[in-house]
Structure 1
């Protein structure tokens, strides 16, 4: 990918703390930022032409523990952790890790919503729960598939294989909830083909 100075560099989703205390991947095609803790935005994606999509958490976030491309916010609710993971494409995955049966059945978890703010974009959902943020021309700039849930054996942490597995709702003990936001690349218009003379 090209960096700000116009040179080429390797894509690297490893998270780091920025000068202003936020968290961002080292080098990804779309500008992405995570919360460094507090009551500000949980995650923000910005396109090259300034369109912005922001998700907020309905609770203050603690300072995260960074591990590669993931940021873990512990105990955001009783018995619940929040994990945000940057993707190489510049999007992110969010996972709620629910540790106990009590937490899984709590009203705070079952009714949890993350408010969305869109600058220059309109966000909509289809009947299946897939989300799309489009610009004024109707072009999709960000998308997110339907959130999924899955269960784990008590005491076993989630693995990468678990994160691709669907499970029925409602939440069961040790059941994370996952959603994924990703930027949509813009295609340059192509010139119409001309017939040979």
Structure 2
């Protein structure tokens, strides 16, 4: 999660300034949201500097492994006995495919992936969630350390639990049509 810059009010004649840092230590957040209940589960993944040198894996491979672990977490939270079919709408990020992701899906047959068309963030409810989360957690802020950034993100994720109805409104805004049994809009 990258600290973000956005328009801000300032005194006329004085441009507001926000510092920046390198993106080496930024945490990655993987989340899943229920389109029916607006419940969400999120996992954070640290991206330590030098991870490629230690693991021998590039960012895409590390993110594939993290996404596969996230799928296993979703399968534990939504067991097949209570949820016979769980469909996750995903974008076309390179870490949403690969051998480790296929293995995680093979281990949890009740999970399925629904790939959204390219360049269609308006169809992905979690994208609306990210926009709101960034506004609350990272807009126009310079963090002293990666731990401060991670703390801000986690605090914002905790806050989101308290406003589930507002999150549900975001989710429903992506799918104006009635939802079918799989949680996707009727076609």
| Range into which the TM-score falls when normalised by the shorter chain | under 0.3
Structure holding more strand per residue: 1
TM-score, normalized by length of structure 2? Answer: 0.24
TM-score, normalized by length of structure 1? Answer: 0.23
Pick 1 or 2: higher relative contact order, CA cutoff 8 A, min separation 6. 2
Structure holding more helix per residue: 2
